[in-house]
Structure 1
Amino acid sequence: MPSPTLSQPVIDVSTNWSRLFSEMCELLEATMQVVSVRTTRMAIAGPSPDEQDRREFSLMSVEKGEAASESILAMHSGLMNLTMVLAKDTNAHLWATSAAVTTLVSSRSATQWFECQTELLRFATDFPAHPLQLVSSATSLMQEILAPIHNRATANARRLAAP
């Protein structure tokens, strides 16, 4: 008996989810490292931090604002693109369904009517046309939204870990 093979959309979804999970784990690990180093530095510096600590503490605020802005922009553009794809797919589905209904109504025989009804039911059950592609697109969008935060957190963890 041949082994079942996975289709490309299933592989894409699995790959994207794995990548997102991995990046989330990296982000959480880097965040814990950075928070630990910075809070320790704050505690040691006390009420009068030196110049290096003041630069680091100022950098924290600037980086958070920049990363948040970039994430919001990625979310906005990604959601706009995803909305356009969904609108296009929905429009195509509505036109195809309307054509199938028109063909069903204009059937001239019982056989033709059953064939047209089968086609109409196929349209009803096939929407959305590419559900796995939609899931994969949403997962990719999450990666794009988190990328600025991930990049800064991991870069800070590497920089602060350096001797």
Structure 2
Amino acid sequence: MTTSRARRIDPFASWSRMMAASFQLAQTGVRMVETLSASADVIASRGATIGAAMRSPRDADHAELGRMIPEKLEAFSRSGSAIADAWWAMGSAWMDEAQNLTSLSMRGRVPTIGELAALSDRAAAWSLGTVEAGALLGYDAVAPIHRKATANARRLKRLPAKR
């Protein structure tokens, strides 16, 4: 009978992967700041567009007004999909580990040293993968909102003000 054994974790590779995850978190923070800054510009511009439309509905920028809701729906839908995909993958990984632990505990005997070592290796790999997945989750969730907000800010700066 052969048993599958988890690959041993290299401490240097683990450290490198943890550092990459921390850089991913930092990039997410930068994207968040850029998104917030762009959103402030977009809100200011669109607030003026809405104000102008309320003063003179016939002369309103209906194209711009018509973009506001659909683009938010698209960006937030893509963000929600990224979150759901990541949660599904992380939940599946957790269930795999739970099944492995249950299998090990239901054998009716004390685990061998080899089985405990394999359990330790799997737990370390799973933990590291969870940190990486969590860092990527934030980055992927912010990406569609960041993309739309920064694109709108650039586009609206080029348009003449209709106030």
TM-score strictly above 0.5: yes
1:130 corresponds to = 126
Name the CA distance, whole Å, in 1 between partners of 2:63 and 2:128.
46
The count of aligned residue pairs is: 147
| Cα-to-partner distance string for 1:62-83 (whole Å, 9 max, x where unaligned) | 1112222222222222211121
- 2:131 maps to a residue whose letter is V
Q: Does 15-24 or 5-14 show the bigger shift?
A: 5-14
**1:2-58 C-alpha deviation (Å, 9 max, x unpaired):** xxx781122122111111111111111111110011112222343324566111011
* Partners of 1:122 and 1:152 in 2: CA distance: 45
Counterparts of 2:23 and 2:33 in 1: how far apart (Å)? 15
**Residue of structure 1 equivalent to 2:135:** 139
Q: Alpha carbon RMSD of aligned pairs, Å? A: 3.0
From 76, 81, 87, the equivalent of 1:68 is 76
Q: Secondary structure at the match of 2:109?
A: helix
TM-score by length of 2: 0.72
Secondary structure at 1:130's aligned position in 2? Answer: helix
Check if 1:88 corresponds to 2:84. no
Provide the residue aligned with 1:102 in structure 2: 109
- Provide TM-score, normalisation by structure 1: 0.72
1:8 maps to 2:16: yes
Q: Which runs of 5+ in 2 are unaligned?
A: 1-11
Q: What letter is aligned with 1:41?
A: T
2:9 counterpart residue number: none
Which residue, out of 28, 36, 42, partners 1:28? 36
Percent identity between matched residues is: 26
CA separation in 2, counterparts of 1:86 and 1:20? 24
Assess, with a 3 A threshold, how the Cα gap between structure 1 residues 90 and 8 changes in structure 2: closer, same or farther.
Answer: farther
C-alpha displacement of 1:148: 1.7
Shift of the 52–158 alpha-carbon distance from structure 1 to 2, 3 Å rule, reads farther
Which of 56, 72, 80 in structure 1 is aligned with 2:64?
A: 56
Q: Is the 8 A contact 2:90 2:133 kept in 1?
A: yes
Structure 1 segments of 4+ aligned residues over 3 angstroms from their partners: 49-52, 93-99, 116-130
User: 1:118 offset after TM fit, Å?
Assistant: 10
Corresponding letter in the other structure for 1:138? G
Counterpart of 2:142, as a letter, is L
Moved more, 129-138 or 145-154: 129-138
Q: Which runs of 5+ in 1 are unaligned?
A: 105-115
Secondary structure of the corresponding residue to residue 102 of structure 1: coil
